[in-house]
Amino acid sequence: MRTQIAIIGAGPAGLMLAHLLRQQNIDCVVLENRTREYVEGRVRAGVLEQTTVRVLDRLGLGERMHSEGLVHEGTNLAIDGEIFRIDMAALTGGATVMVYGQQEVMHDLFNAAEARGVKIIFEAKGVALHDVDSTRPYVTWQGGRLDCDYIAGCDGAHGASRGAIPSHVIQTFERVYPFGWLGILADVPPASHELIYANHARGFALASMRSAGRSRYYLQCALDERLEDWPDERFWDEVCLRLGEQTAAQVTRGPSFEKSIAPLRSFVCEPMRWGRLFLAGDAAHIVPPTGAKGLNLAVADVIVLAAAFAEFYHGGSTAGIDGYSAKALARVWKGERFSWWFTSLTHRFPDMDGFDRKMQVAELNYIRGSRAAQTTLAENYVGLPM
């Protein structure tokens, strides 16, 4: 089999890239090692930036998002239960975010794939990259071989692509946080119509949602926490404590139908290109979830990458391809900084003393009283311009 771009991974980065390339009449094949049901079933991101919303619109795939997604003009912060609102739209000249789950985005991308000529090979096991630094790279998997001009490594944090780059040509930067997020989904109305990011002496909590009838809550937890130690009642008690009395009064409790723990990590691999291989999304960088940047950074990468391939195939210039890594990384580092800052501001670190906590509270109070500080948060939250 031969194609122009071999895409490894059918997550948000890989599938969005495939749609963007097909829109430009560039041929591609997506190799995914799991099933569609598995990829679509993973409960992950919930908040889409402006840029992500716009690209779905540009692809003509935004219809369901606009009818079912929730537009948020603001977000809330809480200090030991005391809430204040950041009016993102007012601070950014009208920018908003869209609450629309990653599962829904994946559903829309998969549903439109066949009709638009996006070829996906599911359950491609043992994917391996070959001759990446030559002009004739190819990809193999159990029972198949795909020859191509370029490879897009969109296979997430644990994929095969990054490992195909010799270690001496990449530099990695990492921060592992000493805690995770315990998240639940429950079919109960959300406590608040906008999100609440809560800094509490007992640790971080987040009240989020998927729809008017479905809530998503997170609690900062220890890395060795066991799910069986968190029956729903304990979770609800703790989340109410951390969100504070005012919000707790609005919390509707109910049985959770999903409960999982995610560790928090910052990670960047530089450069994002080697020879004919281009990394995009979680394959190249990870952010802690605070601030909801992961999926959005993945989408921003593939917008730049798709434009670079279009410039090459339709304009005959390699300038975009050659500039991809530097351009993508400039945005990535800003996303890394914001996610790291927001995590540092809102979480309880094990080595924190009384002074450190006073600094967090002082910074939150400063944000509360400063339009400049709120604008900084708001413009990062809704997404920096491309």
Q: State the binding partner of 244 from ligand FAD, ligand DHB, none, CB within 5 to 8 A by kind.
A: none
**Residue 10 · residue 39 · CB < 8 Å:** yes
Work out what residue 282 binds among ligand DHB, ligand FAD, none; the CB cut-off runs from 5 to 8 Å by kind: ligand FAD
384 vs 379: CA distance, rounded Å: 6
Burial class (CB in 10 A: 0-12, 13-18, 19+), 257: exposed
Residue 183 pairs in a beta bridge with 218, 260
**Does 383 interact with ligand FAD (rule: CB under 6 A)?**
no
Pick the closer one to ligand FAD by CB: 8 or 91. Answer: 8
Please report whether residue 118 would count as binding ligand FAD according to CB under 6 A.
no
289 labelled catalytic: yes
Smallest separation (angstroms) from ligand DHB to the CB of 287 = 9
Q: Does residue 139 contact residue 148 with C-beta atoms inside 8 Å?
A: yes
User: Residue 195 Cβ, how far from ligand DHB at the closest point, in Å?
Assistant: 6
Number of alpha carbons in the 13 Å side-chain half-sphere of residue 93: 5
Q: Does 282 bind ligand FAD (CB under 6 A)?
A: yes
Task: State the Cα–Cα distance between residues 299 and 52, nearest whole angstrom.
Answer: 6
- Please choose, from the candidates 331, 230, 244, 243, the residue with its C-alpha nearest in 3D space to the C-alpha of residue 280: 331
| By the rule CB under 6 A, 268 interacts with ligand FAD | no
* Closest alpha carbon to 368 in 87, 47, 32, 71: 87
Measured CA to CA, the distance from residue 127 to residue 145 in angstroms comes to: 9
Q: Does 160 bind ligand FAD (CB under 6 A)?
A: yes
Number of Cβ within 10 Å of residue 182's Cβ equals 23
For residue 191, the minimal CB distance to ligand DHB (Å) is 13
Binding partner of 159, given ligand DHB, ligand FAD, none, CB within 5-8 angstroms per partner class: ligand FAD
Instruction: Tell me if 139 sits within 8 A of 145, measured CB to CB.
Output: yes
Stretch that binds ligand DHB, among 8-16, 39-47, 64-72, 157-165 (CB under 6 A): 39-47
Smallest gap from Cβ 190 to ligand FAD, in A, equals: 15
197 is catalytic: yes
How many residues bind ligand FAD, per CB under 6 A? 35
Question: Could you count the other beta carbons within 10 Å of the beta carbon of residue 296?
Answer: 25
Among the listed ranges 8-16, 186-194, 230-238, 377-385, the one in contact with ligand FAD (CB under 6 A) is 8-16
Strands of 196-199's sheet, edge to edge?
82-86, 75-79, 196-199, 205-211, 214-221, 171-186, 256-270, 285-286
291 binds, among ligand DHB, ligand FAD, none (CB under 5 to 8 A by kind): ligand DHB
180 binds ligand FAD per the rule CB under 6 A: no
Residue with smaller CB distance to ligand FAD, 81 or 165: 165
Is the Cβ–Cβ distance between 190 and 316 less than 8 Å? no
Pattern of binders to ligand DHB over 162-201, x per CB under 6 A?
---------------------------------x------
Taking CB under 6 A as the rule, does residue 46 contact ligand DHB? yes
**Interface with ligand FAD includes 215 (CB under 6 A)?**
no
Tokens for 61? 């795939």
Which two tokens mark 251?
């919390």
Stretch that binds ligand FAD, among 83-91, 194-202, 281-289, 311-319 (CB under 6 A): 281-289
Q: Which residues of the chain form contacts with ligand FAD (CB under 6 A)?
A: 8-14, 31-34, 39, 44-47, 102, 124, 127, 154-156, 159-160, 183, 262, 281-282, 289, 292-296, 298
Active site (catalytic) residues: 72, 197, 289, 293, 381
